[in-house]
């Protein structure tokens, strides 16, 4: 055995180095074998520990380049900043590049693995417990701000779960609760709410195959059946050896690559019956990131496929940060708000509230803390426009967020990223680090007198957290229950302070508006629907993807000219606009201009900008059942009409789909939808019956003749 390893073992026994180092060494070795390594904020803490480990010596470039597997700049550059790598060669590295690193093993890796396992077994203190302590002891400044401890709970749960092999044993939750001064029951309640936290052992590889309409139309069910058959499991079960869990999942927002799946955090695209092995080995045959984009204008998407999302200098070379500079040095906050008002920009998350007005209301509060949140919890069925923006150009979104902070007088901004979008999360964290280093974040930015910090937070599997008040509860570290309104977030938001919450796309529009002026933006589009809009087109089209268009383009142009028309030259049967919480249009509406006013006339919604296209071969009853099941799965359970109503709606749709409808089912569905709209607390319950109501209205015979199975 290498004498350095002997020394390591001796130091470990003498408690000169923490058992956490052993934990990280073991993690690295295992991940070298599996070809993946976690990459996130807490890894750097581990690396500090790991730096004491022989073989993780980074002082020569050969070792550096073979240090870790798939371990990218995302972590390594932060280590450099913190002077944790001290080798002379490191000075010559281009830290804007991305390196793939792997562990250099002096002997063969099996021997090293066996050696580590022996040490692991004999360690007096559990190395995992030591790693957990490191996590809990971390100076909270690592998050860049001083906020109530509880708000760290979701992040700590994610990290602790990674340390403990994918789940949270009871003593771990007890320790976390103690460290954060929280009741045990509160911590447990949070783990129960979010589907991505596990309090029971779970497979080392969690296979999540999307079940929603765009993937279902392209055969995701077959792939799921194949995988289940192959592993001898039902959905929701784990193999006896603890290797695989198959978990049903609602829309992953990868509809441009349907059918899609996640294995742990890794994306798998274009699944087919012969794509079982890559799922089982978690080695996709494609890049994690590919943008299918198009359109008639480029405002929010100008940099996509142009810049490297890891490189701030490339963003700046395309004019990035010029708007922020202009706002900070040439404009007052009031002028920024006026410009946004003049642009007539309205929220792109679905509610279409005027953005400038929202900023103005919030800015008008008495002096005190206030917050801006970027809502990146995109989870609507068929929605992937925000994912495309944040994967490919996170800087633009953050620039918009910083401009919003300046306009409103907020010194703290948040980005709340959907838990399933791990890549987006990593890119945001990376981009925040780049901005920080370049002096565009922190105290007195570039001498402007403006101070601002940004924090990136992850969701953990809850559609309802896209609702603004539920999202605030989640950032505060609680279950994602929507709040009662009034009061509204502009006066009582995060921690009861005035808060602006804006969608990713909304913020991505802001830099251009500030740079070119509000008047410029308002001339795009139509008189009543200003500007451009991103649409995520999915389903039965030849070229699913995200298309940016000025308002006023017709549905036909979007679906036929841009998205390439219908697969196999079939006819349009229906278009679900706005997601599961949306409405149906038909082939009769193809010549409708896409504007708020024209859509209103024909009973459509723009919503969050999704267009799910169903050709005339699609079984619409099945699609409706999937919509119903989506809401039943995602209801938070707070208010009765949604808690129970979404479930009963799904049950009725299910029996109609299978030919067991009852004579009064249609009347019941309509009444149920009306009551959910009238009485539910938040938008989820209020909209849960819209698509069904619309389908009944558009195709009276679809659910009406209930005794035949389609």
Partner 1 sequence: MAHITLTIDNQSVTVPEGTTILDAAATVGITIPAICYHPSLTPPAICRVCTVEVEGQRGLQPACVMPVKADMVVNTTSQRVQTGRRVILELLASTVDLGEAPHIQHYMADVQANPQRFAGGVKREFDVFEDNPFYIRDYSQCVMCWRCIQVCAEDVQHTFALTWGERGIHSHVATFFDEDMPDTTCVFCGNCVGVCPTGALKGLVEWQLERESS
Q: 579 vs 645, which CB is nearer to partner 1?
A: 645
Nearer to partner 1 by Cβ, of 610 and 635: the residue is 635
In the complex, least distance from residue 652 CB atom to partner 1, rounded to whole angstroms: 8
What is the DSSP track for 206-241?
A: EEEEE-SHHHHTTTHHHHHHHHHHHHT--TT-B-TT
Coil, helix or strand at residue 502: strand
**Closer CB to partner 1, 132 or 301, in the complex:** 132
Among residues 101 and 153, whose Cβ is nearest to partner 1?
Answer: 153
- Residue 699 CB, shortest distance to partner 1, in Å, is 24
Backbone φ and ψ for 708, nearest 5 degrees, come out as -105, 140
CB closer to partner 1 out of 321 and 687: 687
Tell the smallest beta-carbon distance from residue 188 to partner 1 (Å): 5
Q: Least separation, in Å, of the C-beta of 281 and partner 1?
A: 32
* CA gap 639, 599 in Å, rounded: 30
- Mind giving me the DSSP string for 369-416? --EEEEEE---STT--HHHHHHHH-HHHHHHHHHHHHHHHT-SEEEEE
Burial class (CB within 10 angstroms; exposed 0-12, middle 13-18, buried 19+) of 664: exposed
Least distance to partner 1, CB of residue 640, Å: 5
**What is the closest distance, in whole angstroms, from the C-beta atom of residue 13 to partner 1 in the complex?**
35
- DSSP 8-state secondary structure symbol assigned to residue 256: G
Give min distance, CB of 185 to partner 1, in A: 4
Helices assigned H by DSSP within 261-318 = 276-281, 312-317
501, 373 Cβ separation under 8 angstroms: yes
CA angle 244, 480, 150 (to 5 degrees): 95
CA pair distance 549, 567, nearest whole angstrom? 22
Which lies closer to partner 1 via its Cβ, residue 332 or residue 668? 668
CB of 294 to partner 1, least distance (A): 37
| 3 state SS of 117 | helix
Distance of closest approach, residue 470 Cβ to partner 1, in angstroms = 11
Locus of tokens 């149920």: 672
The residue (of 187 and 302) whose beta carbon lies closer to partner 1 is: 187
| Least CB distance to partner 1 at residue 424 (A) | 24
Shortest CA distance to 433 belongs to which of 282, 574, 565, 312? 312
Beta strands 532-539 and 499-503 are unpaired
Q: Are strands 499-503 and 572-577 parallel, antiparallel or unpaired?
A: unpaired
Q: How far is the CB of 501 from partner 1 (least distance, A)?
A: 21
SS3 546: strand
Closer to partner 1 by Cβ: residue 229 or 640: 640
Our CB check for partner 1 shows the closer of 570 and 655 to be 655
Q: Give the interface with partner 1 as residue ranges (CB under 8 A).
A: 170, 173, 183-189, 192-193, 199, 462, 479, 484, 632-641, 643-648, 651, 668, 671-672, 674-675, 677-681, 686
- Name the residue nearer to partner 1 (CB basis): 351 or 519: 351
Tokens of 277: 């092995």
Closest to 468 measured CA to CA, from 429, 402, 416, 428: 416
- Nearer to partner 1 by C-beta: 160 or 639? 639
DSSP 561: I
Helix and strand counts by DSSP (H, E) for the chain: 31, 14
């Amino acid at each position: 055995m290498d004498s350095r390893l002997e020394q390591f073992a001796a130091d470990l026994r003498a408690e000169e180095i923490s058992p956490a180092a052993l934990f990280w060494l073991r993690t690295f070795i295992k991940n070298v074998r599996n070809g993946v390594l976690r990459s996130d904020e807490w890894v750097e803490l581990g690396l500090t520990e790991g730096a004491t480990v022989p073989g993780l010596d980074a002082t020569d470039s050969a070792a550096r380049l073979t240090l870790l597997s798939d371990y990218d700049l995302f972590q390594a550059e932060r280590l450099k900043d913190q002077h944790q790598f001290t080798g002379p060669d490191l000075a010559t590295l281009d830290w804007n590049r991305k390196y793939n690193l792997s562990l250099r093993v002096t002997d063969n890796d099996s021997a090293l693995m066996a050696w580590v396992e022996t040490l692991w077994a004999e360690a007096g203190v559990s190395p995992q417990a030591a790693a957990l302590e490191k996590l809990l002891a971390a100076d909270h400044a690592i998050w860049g701000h001083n906020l109530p401890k509880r708000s760290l709970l979701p992040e700590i749960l994610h990290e602790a779960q990674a340390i403990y092999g994918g789940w949270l044993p009871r003593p771990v939750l007890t320790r976390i609760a103690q460290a954060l001064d929280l009741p045990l029951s509160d911590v447990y309640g949070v783990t129960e709410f979010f589907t991505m936290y596990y309090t029971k052992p779970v497979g080392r590889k969690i296979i999540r195959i999307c079940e929603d309409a765009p993937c279902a139309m392209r055969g995701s069910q077959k792939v799921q059946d194949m995988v289940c058959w192959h592993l001898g499991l039902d959905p929701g079960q784990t193999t006896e050896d603890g290797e695989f869990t198959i978990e049903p999942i609602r829309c992953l927002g990868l509809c441009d690559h349907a059918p899609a799946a996640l294995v742990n955090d890794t994306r798998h695209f274009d699944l087919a019956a012969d794509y079982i092995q890559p799922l089982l080995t978690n080695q996709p045959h494609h890049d994690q990131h590919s943008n299918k984009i198009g359109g008639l204008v480029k405002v929010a998407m100008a940099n996509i496929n142009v810049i490297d999302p890891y490189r701030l200098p490339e963003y700046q070379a395309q004019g990035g940060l010029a708007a922020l500079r202009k706002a900070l040095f040439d404009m007052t906050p009031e002028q920024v708000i006026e410009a946004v008002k003049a642009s007539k920009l309205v929220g792109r998350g679905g509610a279409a509230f005027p953005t400038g007005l929202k900023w103005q209301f919030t800015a008008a509060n008495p002096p005190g803390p206030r917050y801006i949140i970027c809502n990146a919890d995109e989870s609507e069925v068929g929605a992937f426009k925000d994912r495309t923006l944040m994967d490919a150009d996170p800087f633009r979104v953050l620039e918009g967020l910083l401009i919003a902070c300046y306009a409103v007088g907020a010194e703290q901004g948040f980005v709340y990223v959907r838990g399933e979008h791990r890549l987006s999360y990593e890119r945001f964290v990376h981009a925040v680090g780049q901005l920080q280093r370049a002096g565009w974040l922190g105290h007195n930015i570039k001498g402007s007198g403006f101070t601002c910090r940004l924090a990136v937070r992850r969701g953990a599997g809850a559609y309802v957290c896209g609702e603004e008040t539920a999202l605030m509860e989640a950032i505060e570290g609680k279950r994602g229950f929507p709040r009662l309104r009034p009061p509204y977030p502009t006066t009582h938001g995060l921690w009861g302070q005035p808060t602006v919450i804006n969608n990713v796309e909304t913020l991505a529009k802001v830099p251009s508006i500030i740079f070119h002026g509000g008047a410029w933006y308002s001339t795009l589009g139509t008189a009543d629907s200003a500007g451009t809009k991103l649409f995520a087109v999915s389903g039965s089209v030849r070229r699913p993807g995200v298309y940016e268009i000025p308002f006023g383009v017709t549905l036909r142009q979007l679906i036929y000219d841009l998205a390439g028309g219908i697969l196999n030259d079939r006819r349009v049967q229906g278009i679900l606009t706005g997601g599961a919480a949306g409405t149906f249009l038909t082939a009769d509406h193809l010549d409708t201009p896409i504007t708020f006013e024209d859509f209103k006339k024909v009973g459509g919604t723009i919503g969050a900008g999704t267009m799910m296209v169903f050709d005339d071969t699609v079984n619409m009853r099945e699609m409706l059942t999937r919509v119903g099941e989506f809401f039943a799965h995602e209801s938070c359970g707070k208010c009765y009409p949604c808690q129970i109503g979404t479930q009963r709606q799904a049950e009725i749709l299910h029996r109609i789909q299978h030919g067991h409808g009852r004579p009064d089912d249609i009347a019941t569905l309509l009444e149920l939808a009306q009551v959910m709209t009238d009485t539910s607390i938040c938008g989820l319950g209020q909209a849960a019956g819209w698509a069904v109501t619309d389908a009944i209205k558009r195709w009276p015979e679809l659910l009406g003749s209930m005794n035949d199975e389609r």
